[in-house]
Amino acid sequence: MAVQKGDLLYAGKAKSVFRTEKEGIYLVEFRDDITAFDGGKKDVLVQKGSLNARVSAFLFGHLEEHGISSHFIGMVDERSMLVRSLAMIPLEVIIRNVAAGSMVRNYPIAEGTPLNPPVLVMDYKDDSRHDPMLNDDLILALKILNATELARVREMALSINRVLVRFFDSLEITLVDFKIEFGKLDDQILLGDEISMDSMRLWDRRTGESLDKDVYRFSKGDVVAVYRRVAEKICQE
């Protein structure tokens, strides 16, 4: 897809968002920067950006086939995707199918405990406040969403989870948990941002091995090699 990369709008910790010559269309570039622990650990891992871009593009396509629309339009190059520009909703929507990570650190539950029904948590996306957890009343009080929109976000998040759990099951991978972001386009709510090894927790069903950013967080091995292996598995489907 030919497109003119315009002004840099925003550079986050892992991606940069650029304007394009087309009104309402942004270019999202997945950089090789990787961070963890609220920015406390930082590195540059060559190829990490393109592997995450490829997986995100694939999963947005897979979701689209299952009736879930997102901001994704197409790839420009191996690390850049064109997206519909959204007014992002400042929420990190987290869906957990198995207890792990902060849930295990913060609450009395053992890692690996299956969560059925899945646990949906929404954090306020604000690094300066360390992304504090919200509840429905807080989301309404802060006017982040109205009640109808909140119900819609929940319903979309759970549908996305159902589709992704089924997909990863077929690869013998457990989708332990993942984080997604939504945005508004006129009066529609769309899935935005990314779905990648940086934003999902994936466990190899047979070996229990981490196939995601936990490899980086806890120095469990060669991050790029793991990302490449899982990207190949996901995208060959």
Ligand X SMILES: Nc1ncnc2c1ncn2[C@@H]1O[C@H](COP(=O)(O)OP(=O)(O)OP(=O)(O)O)[C@@H](O)[C@H]1O
Contact set with ligand X (CB under 6 A): 10, 12-15, 17, 26, 71, 83-86, 88, 127, 181, 183, 192-193
Question: Closest approach of Cβ 208 to ligand X, in Å?
Answer: 27
Question: Closest approach of Cβ 42 to ligand X, in Å?
Answer: 11
Question: Closest approach of Cβ 171 to ligand X, in Å?
Answer: 25
Output the residue with the shortest Cβ distance to ligand X: 12
Closest to ligand X by CB, 181 vs 214, is: 181
Question: Closest approach of Cβ 70 to ligand X, in Å?
Answer: 8
Q: How far apart are CA 185 and CA 194, in angstroms?
A: 17
Beta strands in the chain (DSSP E): 5-11, 15-20, 25-30, 33-36, 41-44, 72-77, 80-84, 87-88, 91-98, 114-124, 133-134, 173-180, 182-185, 188-191, 200-204
The answer to whether 52 and 197 are in contact (CB under 8 A) is: yes
Closest to ligand X by CB, 174 vs 180, is: 180
Closest to ligand X by CB, 64 vs 169, is: 64
Closest to ligand X by CB, 82 vs 174, is: 82
